[in-house]
Every structure is written in C-alpha cells, then in structure tokens.
Amino acid sequence: MTEGRPENTGAHARDDAMNKEVRYPENRVVGLLDTREQLESAVEALTSGGFLPSEIEVIHGAAASEKLRENTGRSGLSHLVMRFAESIGIPNDETVIKNQYADGLGMGQLLLTVLAPTEERRQVAGRVLEQHGGTSVRFFGRYTIESARSRAD
C-alpha cells in the first residue's frame, strides 16, 4: 500500500524503513489497517480525540516488512537471548506478534502506532483503531503485550 502516500494523513509516516532502527514499541498501541481510508479516518479520530500527530506513526511497505522481520526491536542481552531462543526453536510471543505485523506490511497493510502512556489513552487509542477497521490491535507495555480487547473488558 505504498502508493497511497500515508504521510498525507497528518501522522508521521515511515516508508524510509531502511534508515530507521526498529525499536520495541513501548507504551504504544499498535494495529494493522487495510486501506488508506481506514488510516485517514483513524488518524482523524485520534487527533480529534487529543492525540498529537507526533504521537502517531504510520509504517508501510515491503522494506518496512523486511526490516521488522530482521530485527528483534531489542538491544543488548535481550536481543541476543531472543535471537538464540529463535535459533533453537523456543517459541517467543513477542517474535510471533512482530512477524504477524511484518506479514501484514508485506501484504500491503498499514501499521499504525500510537503513543499511549496512560490507561485512559491506551483505551481510547485501542478503541479508535478497532472502530476504524484495525486488526491485531495490541498495547505494548514495558514487560507485557496485551490485546486491546482484553484492556477494554
């Protein structure tokens, strides 16, 4: 979905994935969207709801998919442990989820991330993404990854 030029939505778009370091999205709500229209309506709802454009990031394209797949998003010992576990076949939920997002990017979906450091903002961002067609919507805390649905219950 790189032709849609998501950077015109007011959110920070990242299609120069080759120049950006992949980092674990701590304190962010993350979800996949299928279309530019879903993206635009979600960004509009988020900014109307008090989120700043600088708190919203759009990631898209095949290069971003590859970059996400190639990196753990962690550094130091955490990165090494995750890579070692992956190499010997130990399942890791974080890697599975990351690869799910990479697969979506590879199929043309758009990855929307929203900085949401408080419980209220997490709930609002998760609800907005789901209301606008977001799938695989999750909150990434420091040590946990939670489904947006489990947070709303």
pLDDT tens-digit map of 83-134: 677 778 787 788 889 889 999 999 999 999 999 999 999 999 999 999 999 9
Residue 32 lies in a domain: yes
Count how many domains the chain has.
1
Residue 22 lies in a domain: yes
Name the residue range of residue 32's domain. Answer: 11-152
DSSP 52: -
What does the pLDDT look like over 10-56, one tens digit per residue? 565 544 444 567 788 999 999 999 999 999 999 999 999 999 999 99
Residue 25 lies in a domain: yes
At 44, which CATH number? 3.30.70
- pTM for the full model? 0.81
- Bridge partners (DSSP) listed for residue 29: 114, 139
Q: 3-state class of 50 per DSSP?
A: coil
133 contacts 35 by C-beta, under 8 angstroms: yes
Residue 31 neighbours by CB under 8 Å, 6+ apart: 111, 112, 126, 129, 130, 134, 135, 136, 137, 138, 148
Residue 6 lies in a domain: no
